[in-house]
A and B are shown apart, each in its own frame.
Chain A
Amino acid sequence: MSEHTSSDDRLDELTAGLPREVAPLPDLWPAIRAELAPRSARAAQWSPRWRLVAAGLLVAASSSILTLFATRMRDGVGGAAAVATADRAPAPPRPRAPARLPAHLVVAERGYARSIDALWRTLDERRDSLAPSTVATVERSLRIADSAIAEARSALEQDPANRVLADLLVSNYERKIDLLRRATELAPRT
C-alpha cells in the first residue's frame, strides 16, 4: 500500500465531513408499520369498533379537505372543480406510470402499494370472521380513502410542484393503511 499523503489527508477530511444521517423522505414508518407482524398478545386483541369508524371518518374528513384544496387549485387555472363524494368516487387507485409525479412520491407509492397489498391479503383471510356490518363499514371507509387518494393524485399530476397536495396524497395513503391495519386487528387470526 502507498504511504499516506496530503491527498489522503484531504480525502479523509472530506469523508469525515459527510453527513452521518440523511432523513428518508417521505416518512417510511407507515409502510414499515403495516408490515410488522404482531408479536404480543396485546396486538392481537380486538380493538373497539368505534376506532374503526373514527378512522373512516378521518379519511372522509381528509377527502373533504382534499376536495377543498383541489377546488381552489383548479379554480386557479380556470377549470371546474370536481367534488369528491363517495357516490362519485373514482375506481380505487393503482400506482401508475410515474410520468408526472415527483420522484419521491413514486417511491412512496411503491411502498404503500406493497403494504396495502399485504394488508388486503391479511384482511381477505380474516374477512369471514368479521360481522357484515363491520365489513360494510370498512368497505365504505376504504372507498372514501380511495376517492381521496385518486383525487389528490389527479390534482398532483396537473400540479406536481404543489407540496400541499403531495402531503395530502401521502397522508391519505397513510390513513388508508391505518384503516386497513385497524380492520385486520378487528378480525381474529384464524
Chain B
Amino acid sequence: MARVLSLVRQQESVEAPRLAVGDEALVDRARKGDVDAFERVYRLYAGRVYALCLRLVADPVEARELTQDTFVRAWEALPRFRADASITTWLHRIAVNAMLERRRGDRRRSARVSLVDDDEDGEAQIAGVVTAPDVATAIDLERAIGALPPGVRRAFVLHDVEGYTHEEIATMTGLAAGTLRAQLHRARQLLKRALSL
C-alpha cells in the first residue's frame, strides 16, 4: 500500500485535454485502423484508466499491466464501439473486465474458489492502515482504499470514486444489487474507521 501512497504523492494528476469537438471523428479514425488517432485516444484517457486500475488493484505494477491490456483490448474492440456511448465508460468497462478475468485466473491457479473475497483479513489489514495522527487526508484515503478487501474496494472505487450507478456496476461486474449494497456499506464503515471519521 505504501507504494500506492507514494505513487499518488509523486504522480501529478493529469488534466488531459478533452475533445469536445472532434471526439467522434477521432474515435472513428481509430476504429478504421488509424494508429495515430488511437494514440491520441490513449493520451486523452490513459490517466483516467490508470487511476481506475491503480485503485482497483492497489498495485502499480498490476495497474500498469491492466492499463496496457485495456488499450490493446480497446484497439481490438473498437470496430464494435458504439458512437453514442461514452468512451470513458467503455474503457473503464474493459479495464474492469480485464481485472476480473485476472482475478478468476488467480483463483483457478490457487484453487481457492470463493465468491466472498472480503473476509475478515480485510478488517485486520485495514485496522493498521492509518498511523499518522493527522488522519482524514486524501493521501490517507488512497492508502485506506488500497487496504480494503478486493471486492469491497472494487465496489467503492466504481461507485464512490468513479460515480457509476448500481445498475452500471452490476453490468460491469455481474454483482447482485444486494451484494453491491452490502459491499458499499462495508467499504464506508471500514474507511471511516480507518480514517477515524
Tell me the A residues contacting B by CB distance below 8 Å.
1-2, 7-8, 10-12, 14-15, 17-25, 28-29, 31-33, 35-40, 42-43, 103-104, 106-107, 110-111
16 contacts between A and B (CB under 8 A): A1-B185, A7-B197, A12-B160, A14-B141, A21-B16, A25-B11, A29-B39, A29-B46, A35-B72, A37-B76, A39-B32, A39-B75, A43-B35, A103-B3, A103-B60, A107-B60
Q: Which residues of A contact B79 (CB under 8 A)?
A: 39
Contact B46 A28 (CB under 8 A): yes
- A36–B35 Cα distance when bound, in Å, is 8
- A31–B39 Cα distance when bound, in Å, is 12
A106 nearest CB neighbor, chain B only: B61
User: Residue B183 at the A interface, CB < 8 A?
Assistant: no
The number of A-B residue pairs with CB atoms under 8 Å apart is 115
- A78–B4 Cα distance when bound, in Å, is 37
Q: How many residues of B contact A (CB 8 A)?
A: 49
- A107–B50 Cα distance when bound, in Å, is 14
A sample of 15 more A-B contacts (CB under 8 A), given A11-B195, A19-B51, is A7-B192, A7-B197, A14-B138, A15-B160, A21-B13, A22-B50, A23-B47, A23-B50, A29-B43, A32-B72, A39-B32, A40-B33, A103-B60, A110-B65, A111-B65
User: Residue B7 at the A interface, CB < 8 A?
Assistant: yes
Tell me the B residues contacting A by CB distance below 8 Å.
3, 7-8, 11-16, 32-35, 38-39, 42-43, 46-48, 50-51, 54, 60-61, 63-65, 67-68, 71-72, 75-76, 79, 136-138, 141-142, 160-161, 181, 185, 188, 191-192, 195, 197
- A33–B51 Cα distance when bound, in Å, is 20
Pick from B15, B42, B197: contact of A21, CB below 8 A. B15
- A43–B8 Cα distance when bound, in Å, is 38
- A15–B137 Cα distance when bound, in Å, is 10
Contact A23 B14 (CB under 8 A): yes
- A18–B137 Cα distance when bound, in Å, is 10
B160 nearest CB neighbor, chain A only: A15
Q: Which residues of A contact B11 (CB under 8 A)?
A: 22-23, 25
Pick from B47, B72, B192: contact of A22, CB below 8 A. B47
